[in-house]
Structure formats: C-alpha cells, structure tokens
A and B are shown apart, each in its own frame.
Chain A
Amino acid sequence: MSIKVINEKCVGCKLCVKSCPFGAIEIINKKAVIDLDKCTLCGACIESCKFDAIVLTKLSPTDIQFPKKFDEYKDVWVFCEQKKGVVQSVAYELLGKGRELSDTLGNELCGVLLGENMKEEAHKIIHRGADKVYLVDSPALKHYQDEPYSKVLIQLIKEYKPEIVLCGASSTGRSLISRVAIGIHAGLTADCTGLDIDKKERLLLQTRPAFGGNIMATIICPNHRPQMSTVRHKVMKEAAENKHHKGKIIEKSYDSNIYFSRTKLLDIVEEIEETVNLTEANVIVSGGRGMQSPENFKLIEGLAKALGGAVGASRAAVDSGWKTYSHQVGQTGKTVCPKIYIACGISGQIQHLVGMQSSEIIVAINKDPYAPIFSVATYGIVGDVFEVVPELTRQFKEALKR
C-alpha cells in the first residue's frame, strides 16, 4: 500500500496541502510532494484533488486474495448486553440490523446472552427476530466482568463459528469485545454507522466515521472470521417486537474455571444526578459558556424537564465546574444522537460538534449570529438565552400541558 503524486496531472493548486490532517504535503517546484513519514494514508488528499493527481494503491475487494475458505463459519450473532437482568435496547437495535444481514446471507440470526436467570429475557430476544439464543446462565455472570464474559464469548465463538458478531459500543461492549477479538484473532471495527454485505465474497462492509465524522471509511475483514463490529446506541433502528416469532434457546453451561475473574466487582454505584442517561435521551438541552454561571443552568434544566429530556453541557461549562463531567457532550465527553438537541449559549467548537452533529434536529440559541453552531443547526435563534430559554420553556409547557 502506498501513495503517490502523478506529476503530469498535478498543477500545484495546494488543495491537497489544505486537506491533509497531518501536514504531510508540501508544494515543491509547483508539484505536491508527500512526506511518507508523516502520511498515514488516510486518503483525505485524494478526495480533495480535482485533477486525480494523487493515487493511493489500496486494496480493493476485487484484488484481495482469499486464501482461506470459511465455509464452516455461518450465522450472524448479536451480543445482547444486559444490565440488572434487562437486555439493553442497543441489543434490539443490533438485532434489527442483524436480521437484514442474515437474510442477505441466507443464514440465521442468533442472540448471545450472558447473565443470571435470563430465560425470560432470552424469549424477548426471540421476539425481536432471533432464530436462536445462546444462553449462558450462571450467578457468576450476573454482572458484567471483563474476564468471565470474554472467556465465555470466546468459547462460544470457537464452538459455533459465527460469520459475523455485532456488539453495542457501550462501556461494557468496548471493554469486552476487543479482548475477544484479540483472543480469537478476528478483525474488529469500532463504531460502525453502516453495515452491509458484499454478497459475492460474503464480506461485511463496515462503514465508520473517522476524524470526528469528517471522513468516512469502509472497512472489510477478508481473511479472518468472525467479522466483528461495534455499533453505537441509537445508530440502528430497533427490531420490531413480534410475539409469534419462533426461535430456539440453546442453554450452555461451562466448567467453573471459565467464570474465574482476577478482578473483583466490589460495588455498582448509580449516580442520582444521572437519572436521565444522556445517550438514551430523545431530547437533550445543553448549555455552554453563554450560560455564565451554574445558577443559570436551572434554566436549561427547566427546559429539559418541560420536554422530558436530559441536560447536557459543553466542555467550557464542565471545565468551569457548572456541570459534572458525566454531562459533557463532545470529543472528550459523550457522543449523543437524540431526536432533538437544543444548544443554548454554545458557540459550537468543532470538538462539541463532533459529539452531537448526528442528532436528528438541532436547535441553536446564541446571541452571536456568526457562531459556528448555526452551521449545523436545523433551526437557529439569534438571541439572548436568558430571554429565549424561559420563554421557550413556558410555551412548551403550555403546548405539551406538562
């Protein structure tokens, strides 16, 4: 794999220099020159070049060799994360997508469920379209722990050889799935926003954002099985419930060794302030530096309450100590994609935008008409937050009669 500039085509326009995230391109004698020590082959320059003067000899599905046959690998698996004995909604979202994938491949959709007394939940997974549920029920699996969970999942994968494994990109999923991928030497792609099948080669086409969503990359895993992806909560649509859907529950139990954990979970603490989980919320009202003080965040809370939503905050507001870190939206905080995101007194630095720009509707309230937040807003209000937010709260309360 390498990158090169075709000198005959290059006109020295510098567009590629501007596009390079790594500052790896220089114009020397009116031609682009790429510093290969700095270049990461991300391909941003190729997109920017209007003269097709930069070529990246990357692998494409057609020229990849497939030395191995994977006939013994079949079915699409969804790791169904449970907390306190309840399957998390991200699992139902993955079952929705997984159904499409398994229908295209012509094989079965299977849920994998680890926990204690989970039989009833296993039926719910079937009602969401699974043909089979692999259930490992043990008191040792009641709460998530890295080692027992990864060992059990590795064991199941080795035993039943799925073609594809999907997992939610939650704090549990992210901790678990990388250990599993290493353990079975599988390819793993994080935070996919698109999943599709190349039917001919039976490849999973995994599309994910990089650089905070400024570049999209499609990734395949040609020579290893299973093909594994994580997907963030709310990216895929939940599978509809069908109580008549039939499926099989396959209960597995293992020797107690497999449940051994070197780490010990001593306590699970739920923070009361976090009654509404940001990544679960349909509506988020966020405040930024423009709120000026922690007291003023009451206005944000008021609007959030009227809308039945959660409270978010920009990094500026969190660093000023007005809100705790768990409320922070953006690059160093949480990535959210609610139905409605209302940004109050947030200017919209790129670090904030990458955390919320996939929201369905974005409302921006800011007194600076040139604030970057307006460039992503579905609806913008140029005005004083201290005037607009209370008024909006009052009117929503009235309209929704809450």
Chain B
Amino acid sequence: MNVIVCIKQVPDTTNVRIDPETNTLVRSGVQSIINPFDMYAIEEAVRLKEKFGGLVTIVTMGPPQAEEALREAISLGGDEAVLISDRAFAGSDTWATSYTLSKAIQKIGKFDIVICGKQAIDGDTAQVGPGIAAFLDIPQITFVKKIEDIKDSFMRAERMTEEGYDIVESPLPCLITVVKEINEPRLPSLKGKMRAKKIEIKKLEAKDLDTDPDLLGLKGSPTKVVKIFTPPPRKGGQILEGEAKDVCAKLVELLKSEVC
C-alpha cells in the first residue's frame, strides 16, 4: 500500500493573541507548523503502512523552508519526502496548486491512496484535495472520519456530512481528505527524529515536472487578489454586573425579542 500525503506549512496561530488595547492580532514571533488537518493525514497514512506495508511519501509545495515541515512529517513516520519548490510556483491559487501537485504526484509514480487534510487553516478553501483528484482523474472521498476497510483494491470509508455521515466505497487508487475525528496523531519517536535529521529530501523544480509554464504560479492562476484589507475588529460590548439573578434578568430582557 503506497500512500502519498500532501501537506502544507502554515503560520502557527496557537500562540497568536489579541492585543487588548487595539483589539488586533499580535503576530510577532509566529512559528510555522504543519497544517493541523495534515497531521491527521500523516497519522492515517502511517497507520495504513503499519497495517498493509508499503511506503508513505510526504509531499509539500512551498518555499525552501517548508523542508522543516517535511522533516517533522518524517519524524512522525513518513518514509520519503518531496519538496516542490520553485519561484515559478509563487502566487499559485488553488487551481495552479492542484495542477502542480498532481504533476508532482505523477512524477513520484505508483500510489494507491493520496491523503490530504480537509483544508489548510490559513486559506481555508478545502479546494486543493478535490482539485488534485480531478487532475489525476481518480475518485475521491472528502471529509473522511473513518476508513472502515480496505480490501481487494477497494476502500470503504465514512464521509462526514452536516447531518451525520455517508458510507462510501471507492476503488483504488483514490484520494481522500480527512477530518480531525479520524485518529489521534502520535508524537514523534526518537528513531523518527533521528531519521528526520538524516533523510535526504528529494527536490522537484518546475523543470523536473512535465508542466505547461503558462499554467504555473501566478500566471497559471485564474483568480487574482486585487485588494487586501484588515476588517474592523469586533468590539467588546457591555459587561453586565451584579448578582446572578439580576444580570440574568437583564440579559433575558435584552435577548427576549431576538429568541422568538
């Protein structure tokens, strides 16, 4: 069972705080982390390897320092790491990102399953997973919360929906995107950390991939950002003070008309 996991390095927001005076985010000293949803993707891939054998290849597209994210993924149980990095990829939107990743996956070679986190926490689009599946022309199961079984080149999985879940069966190879509920990621092992230090990371540039330069990076991205602005922060409101009974009465009075 060969599994490819696509990950993204994102700014860590766990340490981000709101400045109480200006009500804006204090972003200084923000570290980069592996996108939280991708941690579940890595863990699921490693579990599949433990059960069925095979290799787990971790892939990321990003600037050179995304190598750190790959090393961390190796420490968590990945076998091989591929960094897709080139100035030509800068400014890619989800279309160009899906295109580039799918070309890299084709270059990596044979696989049974591609796993992505359901979305990245910085862009929040959830578009790249299905986008890669579309480019590779393979079936997909999105928002997977459980892989029930893999047998005879078929996977049966539970796909999370607003009301509950669907049980979906897909032939392999396929792509899945995973949600938090699927597993609890392990911590890196000592052996894994040693491997992560030593491993040679395979690097792919635009010229290594069979791509059309017009479809890469900003040039290949149908969407263009034309304006960026900071929304007015939400202001803190009124603090209701007094005995529980009185403040509750006040609140009920304020909200009564809204509830009905």
* A106 adjacent to chain B (CB < 8 Å): no
Asked, given contacts A178-B94, A383-B244, A391-B245, whether A219 binds B31 with beta carbons under 8 Å apart, the answer is no
Could you say which residues of chain A place their CB within 8 Å of the CB of B164? 268-271, 274
Q: Which of B131, B134, B159: most chain A CB closer than 10 A?
A: B134
Q: Is the beta-carbon distance between B28 and A263 smaller than 8 angstroms?
A: no
Asked, given contacts A216-B231, A262-B139, whether A221 binds B166 with beta carbons under 8 Å apart, the answer is no
8 Å CB contact of B121 from A23, A221, A331: A331
Asked, given contacts A58-B226, A61-B226, A221-B223, whether A307 binds B259 with beta carbons under 8 Å apart, the answer is yes
* A379 adjacent to chain B (CB < 8 Å): yes
Q: Is the beta-carbon distance between A219 and B223 smaller than 8 angstroms?
A: yes
CA distance A191 to B123 in the complex (A): 10
* In the complex, residue of chain B having the shortest beta-carbon distance to the beta carbon of A209: B231
In the assembled complex, how far is the CB of residue B188 from the closest CB belonging to chain A, in whole angstroms?
20
* A27 adjacent to chain B (CB < 8 Å): no
Stretch at the interface among A246-254, A290-298, A392-400: A392-400
- Chain A contact residue count (CB 8 A cutoff): 117
Residues 220 to 259 of chain B near chain A (Cβ within 8 Å): 221-231, 234, 236-241, 244-245, 247-249, 251-252, 254-256, 258-259
Q: Is the beta-carbon distance between A392 and B248 smaller than 8 angstroms?
A: yes
* A265 adjacent to chain B (CB < 8 Å): yes
CA distance A213 to B63 in the complex (A): 24
* A95 adjacent to chain B (CB < 8 Å): no
Residues 321 to 338 of chain A near chain B (Cβ within 8 Å): 325-326, 328, 331-333
- Chain B contact residue count (CB 8 A cutoff): 99
* A5 adjacent to chain B (CB < 8 Å): no
Which residues on B are within 8 Å of A, measured CB to CB?
11, 13-14, 16-18, 20, 23-32, 36-37, 63-65, 90-91, 93-95, 98, 121-131, 133-135, 139-143, 145, 156, 158-171, 174, 179-181, 218, 221-231, 234, 236-241, 244-245, 247-249, 251-252, 254-256, 258-260
Can you sample 14 A-B contacts with CB below 8 Å?
A: A41-B90, A44-B228, A58-B225, A261-B139, A262-B171, A263-B168, A266-B156, A269-B167, A270-B164, A331-B13, A331-B121, A350-B25, A376-B234, A379-B251
